[in-house]
Chains A and B, each alone.
Chain A
Amino acid sequence: MKKILIVDDDPLITTVYAKHFRADGFDVRVASSGQAGLDEVRSFLPDAVLLDLHMPGVNGVQWLDEIRKDARFAQLPVTVFTAGEIGWQLWAARNSNVNFIFKEGAQPLGVVRAINAVLAMAAGPPPAASRTPAADAAGRMRTP
């Protein structure tokens, strides 16, 4: 079973995304702060992370800095949320090897599809016949 860790201090957003990922067959853990997320990532060993950039305490950029120091998580797929107006955080996240950046208010189903596409790409190229337009489209959205 695919495992995803959601790190966000907003209970509404974590509730929505936990439901969507569970419906898609994911094993989901939620961390309601950056620090809790750091603890959880080390014990849960997720296949992917959905991370809010703007959190009190350990924010998303600090969170990324911390996990990228650990060789186990250097290539861990991380997708981030941003409210858009925090440009320096966005810049820093881009430089921390994140896979996707979604603006808050994105459709949850689109986020689930994008993360599935990242996991599929991480698992290696599928046979040509089984490639999907959705995965191709998600691949084109990948950030540098």
Chain B
Amino acid sequence: MNLDILWDAADGDATFARDLADLYRGHITEQLGLLHAALAAHSASDVQAIAHHCKGSSHTCGATTLASLFGELARLGLAGQLEQAARVAAEAEREFARVQVILETLAPQPATTEPPA
């Protein structure tokens, strides 16, 4: 995860970076659901299209490892190699879980208050 890329995408705006992180998490969660359905339906073209879509979003948010995994998934979808695609999809899900933990750190921290003297 390269947070510098996310920071650039947000133009240095911390609130916007958090909004983007939320948008990304929601979007990829939804797309992973669709990816599961496409794999279950043995639809290689859907696997390719969904993975390609996720690759672009992941690049934009700085999730570079995940972007590479989605790129590999898109390639496997295009080649119709769905067994291998299912393995890479599982790896992508594990990586997404790691990315989510990192993105959580962007969440606003509760304000600390100094105890009265």
The chain A residues found within 8 Å of chain B, CB to CB, are 9-13, 15-16, 19-20, 23, 52, 54, 56, 81, 83, 85, 104-105, 107-109
A12–B20 CB distance below 8 A: yes
Q: Which residues of B contact A16 (CB under 8 A)?
A: 9-10, 20, 60
The B interface is mostly helix, strand or loop, or mixed, namely helix
- Establish whether residues B57 and A85, one from each chain, have CB atoms under 8 Å apart when the complex forms: no
Tell me whether A15 and B23 are in contact (CB under 8 A).
yes
A-contacting residues, B44-74, CB 8 Å: 49, 52-53, 55-57, 59-61, 67, 71, 74
Residue of B nearest to A52 (CB): B56
Number of chain B interface residues as a range: 20 to 34
Q: How far, in angstroms, from A109 to B13 measured CA to CA in the complex?
A: 14
Q: Tell me if B8 is interfacial: C-beta within 8 Å of chain A.
A: yes
CA of A12 to CA of B20 in the docked complex: distance in angstroms?
Answer: 7
Question: Given that A19-B11, A108-B11 are known contacts, is A12 also in contact with B5, CB under 8 Å in the complex?
Answer: no
Q: Which of B11, B49, B57, B67 lies in contact with A12, CB distance below 8 A?
A: B57
Other A-B contacts than A12-B60, A16-B60, A104-B60, 13 sampled, CB-CB below 8 A, are A10-B57, A11-B23, A12-B61, A13-B57, A13-B60, A16-B9, A19-B11, A81-B56, A85-B74, A105-B60, A107-B8, A108-B8, A108-B11
Contact indicator B20/A20 (Cβ below 8 Å): no
| Contact partners of A81 in chain B: CB under 8 A | 56
Q: Which of B10, B49, B74 contacts A56 (CB 8 A)?
A: B49
- Residues of chain B within 8 A of A104, CB atoms compared: 55-56, 59-60
Chain A nearest Cβ from B84, distance in angstroms:
17
